[in-house]
Amino acid sequence: MADGTEPRVVRRRRSPKGEQRRDDIIAAAAELFAEGGLDSVGLTDIAARAGLTRAGLLHHFPSKNDLLLAVLERRDGGGSAELPASGVDALLGYLEVLRGNEADPSEMQFFAMMSTQSIATSHPAHEHFRERQAQMTAIMSTMLADVFDEARLQGDTELTDIARWLIALAEGLRDQWLRSPDSLDRMESIYRFLESMAPTMHDEARERVEAYLRAQRAQR
């Protein structure tokens, strides 16, 4: 009964002030997690950063694990909400999100650490990242249908393969860039991957992607 009813009651009765307080807590937690990592940050530290008592924080988030998931969900939700539903606009929007993420290396580092650590099934964010991976692959595959011409793909390559390659490339290069930012240009590597796939794109999509890449390089 509590699992099915209580959370809905809380959401309906939460005041605008309560929503703002909750947002402040999540923002404070995100900052501290990025600065020092999950294990080095306590609820008292987060409460102080948000201008609350520990008891005040626990009123909104019963545990640090609940707060961690709220931070991850806000990060994922903010990025995906900005993307168009499909097509070239969605692909270019995804590239813009990746590029924008580089403005905050500490947040990128925390997210990368959580992604790796959550491989363990006992990790509190294991299910979050498992679902995220499945959702990202499905969304990307649908998005790329308007970009790539399946008749031009080589062998048994499918849109799902390209989606997984692009996601793996973005995340793998992220980790390399975080370890040694001066040794590679993450976005340039992603741009080159897309250029290598350009012959398999629909003609109009290829023209738009290539124009975007030229514009990005001109701004550097």
Q: Indicate if 148 and 39 belong to the same structural domain.
A: no
Q: Indicate if 138 and 214 belong to the same structural domain.
A: yes
What's this model's pTM, rounded to 2 decimal places? 0.82
Q: Indicate if 86 and 57 belong to the same structural domain.
A: no
Q: What is the pLDDT of residue 9?
A: 35
Tracing tokens 């309906």 back to the chain, one arrives at: 12
What is d(CA 26, CA 60) in angstroms, rounded to the nearest whole number? Answer: 10
Q: Indicate if 87 and 196 belong to the same structural domain.
A: yes
Q: Indicate if 52 and 88 belong to the same structural domain.
A: no
- Domain's final residue, options 25, 45, 68: 68
Q: Indicate if 160 and 113 belong to the same structural domain.
A: yes
Residues in Cβ contact with 87 at an 8 Å cutoff, skipping those fewer than 6 apart: 143, 146, 147, 205
What is d(CA 2, CA 21) in angstroms, rounded to the nearest whole number? Answer: 24
Examine residue 209 and state whether it is found in any structural domain, yes or no.
yes
Q: What CATH number is attached to the domain comprising 17?
A: 1.10.10.60
Number of domains in the chain: 2
Q: What is the pLDDT of residue 220?
A: 80
- Which whole-number Å values give the CA distances from 106 to 24, 34, 110, 123, 178, in the listed order? 19, 5, 6, 21, 9
- Domain's final residue, options 41, 68, 95: 68
Q: How far apart are the first and last CA of the chain?
A: 57
Q: What is the pLDDT of residue 14?
A: 57
The single-letter DSSP state of residue 150 is G
Q: Indicate if 102 and 173 belong to the same structural domain.
A: yes
Q: Indicate if 62 and 116 belong to the same structural domain.
A: no
Examine residue 156 and state whether it is found in any structural domain, yes or no.
yes
Examine residue 64 and state whether it is found in any structural domain, yes or no.
yes
Q: Indicate if 29 and 104 belong to the same structural domain.
A: no
Q: Indicate if 174 and 110 belong to the same structural domain.
A: yes
Examine residue 149 and state whether it is found in any structural domain, yes or no.
yes
Q: Indicate if 56 and 86 belong to the same structural domain.
A: no
Q: Indicate if 149 and 207 belong to the same structural domain.
A: yes
Mean pLDDT by 10 residues, the chain (220 residues): 39 69 94 87 95 94 94 75 70 93 90 94 95 92 94 96 97 95 95 97 97 94
Examine residue 90 and state whether it is found in any structural domain, yes or no.
yes
Examine residue 76 and state whether it is found in any structural domain, yes or no.
no
Q: What is the pLDDT of residue 10?
A: 41
Examine residue 73 and state whether it is found in any structural domain, yes or no.
no
Examine residue 77 and state whether it is found in any structural domain, yes or no.
no
User: Contact, 67 vs 26, CB < 8 A?
Assistant: yes
Domain range for residue 51?
2-68
- Domain's final residue, options 14, 44, 68: 68
